């Protein structure tokens, strides 16, 4: 079951993000890795900045989360994680499909350039990498992230964004 998460889910969201993010350790640049990957203060800041989390429940337990953030003229998919014990079961695909139905604006997703599995997941669901020049411009326009993260990230866009911006 997919449901909107609320404040009662805060600790579970935080735990799922940090559990799922373990896949990045040793993959992303060492200077970008922290333990925990996301602090509770960072998560609170993301929520306070407009990231709404949706969760996937299995057997009454929250096992996956994905953030949804309208920003200007696009929607960002943010912080998409599935608990390690529940990965490879289609949970991320179900969450993504649900969130895509909630918006009529183009959708953008940022992820680490070296996270090949994440890039492949989004490509399998119709997203395409934008050019390096577009990536830099989009990350600066829609995200609030450090320059080093801009250097080591990619942006994937849905067909609506690609059609509007001539990058089909």
Q: Are 138 and 154 in contact (CB under 8 A)?
A: no
Strand ranges in the chain using DSSP code E only, listed in sequence order: 2-4, 52-58, 61-71, 74-82, 107-112, 128-129, 153-157
Task: Tell me the average pLDDT across 100-115.
Answer: 97
Q: Quick one: pLDDT band at residue 151, thresholds 50, 70, 90?
A: very high
pLDDT at residue 168 greater than cutoff 60: no
Segment among 45-54, 64-73, 157-166 with least mean pLDDT: 157-166
Task: Tell me the average pLDDT across 102-107.
Answer: 97
CB atoms within 10 A of CB 73: 11
Q: Which pLDDT score is estimated for 167?
A: 62
Rounded Cα–Cα distance for residues 99 and 144 (Å): 21
Task: Tell me the average pLDDT across 126-145.
Answer: 97
How much helix, strand and coil, in percent to the nearest 5, is found in the chain?
45, 25, 30
Structure-block tokens of residue 146: 């450090």
Task: Tell me the average pLDDT across 101-129.
Answer: 97
For residue range 17-55, what is the model confidence (pLDDT) as tens digits?
999 999 999 999 999 999 999 999 999 999 999 999 999
């Amino acid at each position: 079951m997919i449901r909107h998460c609320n404040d009662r889910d805060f600790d579970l969201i935080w735990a799922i993000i940090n559990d799922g993010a373990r896949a990045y350790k040793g993959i992303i640049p060492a200077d970008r890795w922290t333990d925990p990957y996301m602090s509770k203060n960072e998560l609170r800041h993301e929520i306070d900045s407009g990231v709404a989390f949706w969760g996937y429940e299995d057997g009454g337990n929250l096992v996956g989360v994905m953030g949804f953030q309208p920003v200007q003229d696009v929607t960002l998919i943010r912080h998409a994680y599935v608990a390690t014990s529940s990965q490879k079961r289609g949970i991320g695909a179900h969450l993504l499909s649900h969130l895509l139905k909630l918006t009529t604006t183009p959708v953008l997703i940022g992820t680490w350039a070296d996270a090949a599995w994440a890039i492949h997941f989004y490509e399998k669901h119709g997203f395409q990498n934008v050019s390096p020049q577009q990536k830099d411009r989009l990350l600066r326009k829609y995200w609030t992230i450090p320059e080093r993260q801009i250097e080591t990230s990619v942006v994937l866009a849905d067909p609506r964004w690609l059609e509007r911006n001539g990058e089909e």
